[in-house]
């Protein structure tokens, strides 16, 4: 089959690889109908996340049709079922899964010892996302093997286009959890850094959950225009001072809730701390660029909440923990517990409360995936979210 394969820094290719097959009785195989490129994939593409090997198949936002089911998965799945696959592989039985903390499932990471070393304790296995989280082949491919398939799936009804359902795999629940864990009150101002796909979903979630005021921060005009369409006030961090503007919009008190939907590749125009981060990153003395984190910790209202869906990989420098401690801030973060939210979110899609397809700007055949990584990373052509379709001809834009 065809699949997008990681070969090295910024080197992704559409290669022919062996078809997956059932390896374990809880497995299922799906024929992929749609998959997407995520901001998290860019951290692998740019090679800021350690633990990739040449030959790894990329992708963790995937949906399709079940074509084969292992004997132990037959109680919940059958050939022909239409499913969205969450990016977190879950057993559904361990202590964490039973609490709904799916992204830290204790069973599914087959490289537990690596993760134990890196993080202290293992987290869940993830599709197409480094050997620290199991090294499972991803879903930017024609077929995907789903381990623990009896638990690791979201069943979706027929008769609705893929585009409305695909993002249940990751960015929609990610934006939702980012907002939910802020415990939004009707009086709250919620500030959201980053208007990429995750930021866009977070804005919609914060609006649905009833924030008084939602503020979105980015520098790309097309992304800011989409944020505004979703009901956010825009701040362009290249043109305005973010901290000053946020204080202005909150009567000098700062936003109650701050969300980092940017992660470890944050930009900062000409600020001292960003030059420091870039230099240290180049010398491999620091793995991440935490400019956004610092800004949030500084501007957040005392007793407020910092929600961090943005991905970080390792060690961060110059984190103003003094501000966090003295202001009594709460930090909530994590990879998303996808299946904790998806039943409710699927209903919201079916009820037309939200249509997550608004974020798609490019639909392309799988073979063009590698080029689309570049287009998405470099924000060319107004690109915000890329959907790839195996077997499609030509391409569609915006």
Q: Which residues bind ligand NAD (CB under 6 A)?
A: 38-40, 42-43, 170-171, 174, 193-199, 217-220, 223, 237, 261-263, 266-268, 291-292, 309-311, 335-336
Contact call for residue 186 and other proteins (CB under 8 A): yes
The pair of three-digit structure tokens given for residue 81, joined into one six-digit string = 């079922």
Between 21 and 187, name the residue whose CB sits nearer to other proteins: 187
Give the nearest distance from C-beta 178 to ligand NAD in angstroms.
8
Give the alpha-carbon dihedral of 145, 148, 150, 154, to 10 degrees.
-70
Give the nearest distance from C-beta 78 to ligand NAD in angstroms.
29
Between 76 and 334, name the residue whose CB sits nearer to other proteins: 334
Between 96 and 336, name the residue whose CB sits nearer to ligand NAD: 336
Contact call for residue 9 and other proteins (CB under 8 A): yes
Q: Which of residues 49-108 bind other proteins (CB under 8 A)?
A: 99-100
Stretch that binds Zn ion, among 30-38, 339-347, 356-364, 374-382 (CB under 5 A): 30-38
Q: Which of residues 356-395 bind Zn ion (CB under 5 A)?
A: none
Contact with Zn ion (CB under 5 A): which of 49, 63, 89, 91?
Answer: 91
Give the Cα separation of 374 and 65 in Å (integer): 29
Give the Cα separation of 152 and 391 in Å (integer): 25
Between 301 and 389, name the residue whose CB sits nearer to other proteins: 301
At 259, phi and psi to the nearest 5?
-125, 125
CB atoms within 10 A of CB 380: 10
Between 95 and 371, name the residue whose CB sits nearer to Zn ion: 95
Contact with Zn ion (CB under 5 A): which of 62, 101, 107, 200?
Answer: 107
Strands 305-308 and 330-333: parallel
Quickly list H helices, 233-360: 242-249, 272-282, 291-299, 321-327, 338-350
- 232 neighbors 211 (Cβ within 8 angstroms): no
At 189, phi and psi to the nearest 5?
-100, 125
230 binding partner (options ligand NAD, Zn ion, other proteins, none; Cβ < 5 to 8 Å by kind): other proteins
Q: Which residues, other chains included, contact 171 with Cβ-Cβ below 8 Å and sequence gap of 6+?
A: 36, 38, 61, 197, 198, 201, 356, 359, 385
């Amino acid at each position: 089959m065809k699949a997008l394969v990681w070969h090295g820094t910024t080197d992704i290719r559409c290669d022919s690889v062996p078809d997956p097959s059932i390896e374990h009785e809880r497995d299922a195989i799906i024929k992929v109908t749609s998959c997407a490129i995520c901001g998290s994939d860019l951290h692998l593409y740019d090679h800021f996340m350690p633990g990739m090997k040449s030959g790894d198949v990329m992708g963790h936002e995937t949906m399709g049709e079940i074509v084969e089911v292992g004997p132990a998965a037959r109680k919940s799945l059958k050939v022909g079922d239409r499913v969205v696959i969450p990016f977190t592989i879950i057993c559904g039985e361990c202590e964490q899964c039973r609490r709904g903390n799916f992204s830290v499932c204790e069973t599914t990471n087959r490289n537990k010892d690596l993760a134990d070393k890196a993080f202290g304790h293992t987290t869940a296995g993830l599709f197409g996302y480094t050997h620290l989280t199991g090294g499972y082949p991803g879903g930017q491919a024609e077929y995907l093997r789903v381990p623990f398939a009896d638990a690791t799936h979201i069943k979706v009804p027929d008769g609705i286009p893929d585009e409305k359902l695909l993002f249940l795999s990751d960015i929609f629940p990610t934006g939702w959890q980012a907002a939910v864990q802020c415990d939004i009150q009707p009086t709250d101002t919620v500030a959201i850094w980053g208007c990429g796909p995750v930021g866009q979903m977070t804005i919609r979630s914060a609006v649905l959950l009833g924030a008084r005021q939602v503020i979105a921060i980015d520098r790309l005009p097309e992304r800011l225009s989409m944020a505004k369409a979703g009901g956010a006030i825009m701040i362009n961090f290249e043109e305005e001072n973010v901290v000053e503007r946020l204080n202005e919009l909150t009567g000098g008190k700062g936003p109650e809730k701050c969300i980092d939907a940017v992660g470890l590749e944050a930009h900062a125009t000409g600020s001292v701390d960003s030059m420091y981060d870039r230099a240290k990153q180049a010398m491999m003395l620091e793995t991440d660029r935490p400019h956004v984190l610092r800004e949030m910790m500084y501007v957040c209202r005392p007793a407020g909440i910092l929600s961090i869906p943005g991905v970080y990989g390792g060690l961060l420098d110059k984190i103003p923990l003094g501000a966090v401690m003295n202001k009594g801030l709460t930090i909530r973060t994590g990879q998303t517990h996808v299946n904790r939210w998806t039943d409710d979110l699927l209903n919201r899609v079916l009820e037309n409360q939200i249509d997550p397809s608004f974020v798609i700007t490019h639909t392309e055949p799988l073979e063009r995936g590698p080029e689309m990584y570049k287009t998405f990373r470099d924000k060319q052509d107004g690109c915000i979210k890329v959907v790839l379709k195996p077997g499609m001809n030509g391409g569609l834009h915006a």
